[in-house]
């Protein structure tokens, strides 16, 4: 949007509201006004109304009479970022704030408001708003009911204009046919011609029209870029989580049947693993589990909102991965019922084809697998808490918080004829995290108690659940085991450095927590004190006693030799004791 375009806009036709607001005192949320009609005429009121009406723009610094005149405004000057944050905090609506200047340097402020998702109504002070002329009024009951009864249309089954069979990738079609044949145990499917196979899966119509599902899954790269560029997937890698710019970025615009393996292979280049061994239980825990990552990406592709012109973005860090997809959860799904509700897929045709070819799990089971694997590996629950109506954000940790818990679950699953369900593993994880008895499902509790997997502790009127003795036997054995085993690269100095680069500072208790079941408190303190020595200059600190906070020295961020010296000094005491870390492992850590 330019100044020249803006002054030609008409409020109703172009879904825009003009306000002069020269002095910049337009109310944010109603201020001290008492009349509801007056209170609504504020930034939050207009954002709410525009979102309910499919989106629009609130413009400051422009006279509202047509033809419009630029008058300039001081509204939220030098605070546009804060304005976006404040609006999101109040409404959970992701607006975009933009500043324009005319030739006389008059400033115009534009708040671009997205449209609501299907079935969602936004409210200001418990009132759903809509614009009527110059007023913001309560939405009619009929319109309100009509919205909340909406169903999301299946974008993927719609016809993509001007795309033909020749625009589909033969290699992608062959891969789809192979996957279907294997999943359905149907070798005859491989002998069918491409047209028949696509017809059988409803990817093309009987009039040879190409659906968007076919384009996303099978379209040639140049055709996808032309007709649906937002279906691309961006993979960004940052070695330092605090950096805004990425170290590497990859764009995947190929048909999804060809892109999925390339995506995982690229992610796996920077993957590593944590070795776990206790008696007969020997296995490696990858930082990023292949099944979890693939399922998370599949969900993003199958359930995202393709009407929004944003791509799926994957942000990979050494200790975490963020998968962000446009559009919130499908209708009927929220954080509380994510694992139990049967939702209506946003792209049913696309999801059905992926399921029939074995790329994704059956409806509702993909998220189960993500939770199941992450918790079983001792990494804790996947984090969806930053999801809102406009995007789903999944955060997957690479840190094994509790190796003993991973051993505990592995032992149970190998020895039990009836495997633990995802709900039962979630229950055990909740106990591990210290949730009270009142917060937990009684039915699951009784079953696990009768199976001997949890125990009651405390007096009768204050009894709580805890994990069985089998778990605590692993915590003790795990501690003995690590004392005689070289610590792997996810620990020691790299763990300290990466944590401080992510969070800036930490107290001693946090460092002890980072090395739980790997190092004793005294061993951790020895490392931190050595790294804080003025001759090393790797860590600096402020405060005293229990309030002391540690952070990375500037020299530690800039000089590899200092980091190497810090490693040598930081583990010197433990090497004298012969407890952990070998010289070979130090070299591997640096690599």
Instruction: Render 443-479 in DSSP notation, one character per residue.
Output: HHHHHHHHTTSEEEES-GGG-EEEE-HHHHHHHHHHH
Quick one: which of 537, 511, 533 has its CA closest to 522? Answer: 511
Cα–Cα distance between 364 and 367 in angstroms, integer?
Answer: 6
Query: DSSP letter at 86?
Result: H
Residue found under tokens 């997997």: 453
Cα–Cα distance between 371 and 24 in angstroms, integer?
Answer: 48
The mean pLDDT of 20-32, rounded to a whole number, is 91
Q: What are phi and psi of 482, to 5 degrees?
A: -70, -20
The answer to whether the beta carbons of residues 232 and 220 sit under 8 Å apart is no
The answer to whether the beta carbons of residues 409 and 376 sit under 8 Å apart is yes
Cα–Cα distance between 508 and 525 in angstroms, integer?
Answer: 7
The answer to whether the beta carbons of residues 416 and 424 sit under 8 Å apart is no
Q: Name 320's bridge partners.
A: 397
Cα–Cα distance between 72 and 19 in angstroms, integer?
Answer: 10
Q: Quick one: tokens of 221?
A: 């790269």
CA distances, 310 to each of 227, 424, 426 (Å): 14, 37, 33
Q: What is the pLDDT of residue 500?
A: 81
Shared domain for 470 and 339, answered yes or no, is: no
pLDDT confidence tier of residue 47, bands split at 50, 70 and 90 = very high
Q: Quick one: tokens of 270?
A: 């920077």
Q: What are phi and psi of 74, to 5 degrees?
A: -105, 10
Question: Which of 479, 508, 526 is at the close of a domain?
Answer: 479
The answer to whether the beta carbons of residues 156 and 216 sit under 8 Å apart is yes
Shared domain for 386 and 461, answered yes or no, is: no
Shared domain for 158 and 304, answered yes or no, is: yes
Residue 199 CA to its chain's centroid (Å): 35
300 SS3 class: helix
Give the residue, 1 or 164, on which the prediction is more confident: 164
Residue found under tokens 């605070």: 79
Shared domain for 278 and 354, answered yes or no, is: yes
The answer to whether the beta carbons of residues 253 and 261 sit under 8 Å apart is no
The mean pLDDT of 120-129, rounded to a whole number, is 94
The answer to whether the beta carbons of residues 538 and 563 sit under 8 Å apart is yes
Q: Based on the number of CB atoms within 10 Å of its own CB, is 453 exposed (0-12), middle (13-18) or buried (19 or more)?
A: buried
pLDDT tens-place string over residues 403-458: 889 999 998 998 888 899 999 999 999 998 888 888 888 999 999 999 999 998 87
How many Cβ atoms from other residues are within 10 Å of residue 398's Cβ? 23
Output the domain CATH number for residue 171. 3.30.565.60
Q: Quick one: tokens of 181?
A: 């044949």
Shared domain for 339 and 200, answered yes or no, is: yes
Shared domain for 456 and 507, answered yes or no, is: no
**Residues with Cβ < 8 Å from 158, sequence gap 6 or more?**
211, 212
The answer to whether the beta carbons of residues 431 and 437 sit under 8 Å apart is no
Q: What are phi and psi of 5, to 5 degrees?
A: -70, -40
Shared domain for 135 and 190, answered yes or no, is: no
Output the domain CATH number for residue 528. 1.10.10
The answer to whether the beta carbons of residues 1 and 15 sit under 8 Å apart is no
pLDDT tens-place string over residues 252-285: 999 999 999 999 999 998 888 888 777 777 788 9
Cα–Cα distance between 407 and 378 in angstroms, integer?
Answer: 9
| Domain residue limits at 283 | 152-400
Q: What is the pLDDT of residue 151?
A: 81
Shared domain for 172 and 194, answered yes or no, is: yes
Q: Does residue 524 surpass a pLDDT of 60? A: yes
Question: Which of 479, 506, 526 is at the close of a domain?
Answer: 479
Q: Can you give the length of the chain in residues?
A: 591
235 SS3 class: strand
How many domains are contained in the chain?
4
Residue found under tokens 């020997």: 282
The answer to whether the beta carbons of residues 170 and 176 sit under 8 Å apart is no
Alpha helices in 53-134 (DSSP H): 80-91
How many Cβ atoms from other residues are within 10 Å of residue 46's Cβ? 23
pLDDT tens-place string over residues 210-262: 999 999 999 999 999 999 999 999 999 998 777 788 889 999 999 999 999 99
**Residues with Cβ < 8 Å from 341, sequence gap 6 or more?**
332, 333, 364
Q: Does residue 578 surpass a pLDDT of 80? A: no
Q: Which of 80-89, 334-343, 491-500, 543-552 has the lowest mean pLDDT?
A: 491-500
Q: What is the pLDDT of residue 153?
A: 86
Cα–Cα distance between 429 and 425 in angstroms, integer?
Answer: 6
Shared domain for 524 and 416, answered yes or no, is: no
Shared domain for 392 and 286, answered yes or no, is: yes
Sign of CA dihedral 198, 201, 205, 211: negative
Question: Which of 424, 445, 479 is at the close of a domain?
Answer: 479
Q: What is the pLDDT of residue 518?
A: 62
Q: Does residue 561 surpass a pLDDT of 60? A: no
Cα–Cα distance between 538 and 414 in angstroms, integer?
Answer: 44
Q: What is the pLDDT of residue 226?
A: 96
Shared domain for 315 and 408, answered yes or no, is: no
Q: What are phi and psi of 240, to 5 degrees?
A: -115, 110
Alpha helices in 256-314 (DSSP H): 256-268, 290-303
Q: Does residue 560 surpass a pLDDT of 50? A: no
Cα–Cα distance between 261 and 235 in angstroms, integer?
Answer: 13
Shared domain for 98 and 66, answered yes or no, is: yes
């Amino acid at each position: 949007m330019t100044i020249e375009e803006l002054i030609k806009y008409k409020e109703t036709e172009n879904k825009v509201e003009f306000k002069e607001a020269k002095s910049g005192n337009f109310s944010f949320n109603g201020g001290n006004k008492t009349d509801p009609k007056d209170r609504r005429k504020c930034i939050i009121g207009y954002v709410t109304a525009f979102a309910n009406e499919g989106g629009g723009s609130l413009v400051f610094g422009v006279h509202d009479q047509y033809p419009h005149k630029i008058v300039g405004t001081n509204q939220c000057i030098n605070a546009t970022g804060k304005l976006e944050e404040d609006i999101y905090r109040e409404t959970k609506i992701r607006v975009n704030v933009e500043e324009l200047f005319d030739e006389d340097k008059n400033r115009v402020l534009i708040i671009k408001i997205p449209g609501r998702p299907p079935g969602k109504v936004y409210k200001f002070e418990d009132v759903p708003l809509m614009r009527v002329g110059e007023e913001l009024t309560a939405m009619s009951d009929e319109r309100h009911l009509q919205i909340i009864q909406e169903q999301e249309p299946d974008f993927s089954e719609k016809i993509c204009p001007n795309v033909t069979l020749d625009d589909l990738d033969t290699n992608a079609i062959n891969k789809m046919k192979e996957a279907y044949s294997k999943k359905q145990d149907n070798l005859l499917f491989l002998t069918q011609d491409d047209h028949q196979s696509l017809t059988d899966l409803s990817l093309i119509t009987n009039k040879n029209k190409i659906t968007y599902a076919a384009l996303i899954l099978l379209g040639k790269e140049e055709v996808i870029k032309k007709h649906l560029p937002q279906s691309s997937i961006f993979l960004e890698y940052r070695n330092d989580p605090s950096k805004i710019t990425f170290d590497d970025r990859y764009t995947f615009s190929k048909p999804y049947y060809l892109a999925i393996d390339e995506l995982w292979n690229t992610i796996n280049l920077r993957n590593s693993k944590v070795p776990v061994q206790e008696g007969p239980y020997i296995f490696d825990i990858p930082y990023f589990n292949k099944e979890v990552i693939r399922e998370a990406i599949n969900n993003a592709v199958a359930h995202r909102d393709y009407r929004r012109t944003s791509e799926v973005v994957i942000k990979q860090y050494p200790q975490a991965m963020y998968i962000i997809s446009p559009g919130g959860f499908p209708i009927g799904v929220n954080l509380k019922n994510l694992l139990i509700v049967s939702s209506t897929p946003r792209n049913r045709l696309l999801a059905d084809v992926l399921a029939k070819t074995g790329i994704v799990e059956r409806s509702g089971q993909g998220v189960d697998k993500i939770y199941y694997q992450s918790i079983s590996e001792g990494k804790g629950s996947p984090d969806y808490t930053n999801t809102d109506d406009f995007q789903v954000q999944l955060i997957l940790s690479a840190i094994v918080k509790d190796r003993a818990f991973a051993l505990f679950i592995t032992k149970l699953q190998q020895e039990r004829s009836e495997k633990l369900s995802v709900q039962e593993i979630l229950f055990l994880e909740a106990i591990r995290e210290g949730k009270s008895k009142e917060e937990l499902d009684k039915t699951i509790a009784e079953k696990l108690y009768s199976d001997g997997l949890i125990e009651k502790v405390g007096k009768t009127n204050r009894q709580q659940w805890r994990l069985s003795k089998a778990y605590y036997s692993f915590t003790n054995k795990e501690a003995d085991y690590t004392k005689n085993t070289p610590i792997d690269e996810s620990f020691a100095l790299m763990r300290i450095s990466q944590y401080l680069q992510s969070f800036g500072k930490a107290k001693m208790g946090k460092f002890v927590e980072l090395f739980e079941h790997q190092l004793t408190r005294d061993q951790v303190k020895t490392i931190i004190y050595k790294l804080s020595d003025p001759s090393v200059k790797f860590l600096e600190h402020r405060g005293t006693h229990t309030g002391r906070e540690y952070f990375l020295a500037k020299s530690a961020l800039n000089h590899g030799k200092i980091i190497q010296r810090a490693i040598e000094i930081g583990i010197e005491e433990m090497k004298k004791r012969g407890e952990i870390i070998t010289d070979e492992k130090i070299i591997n850590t640096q690599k």
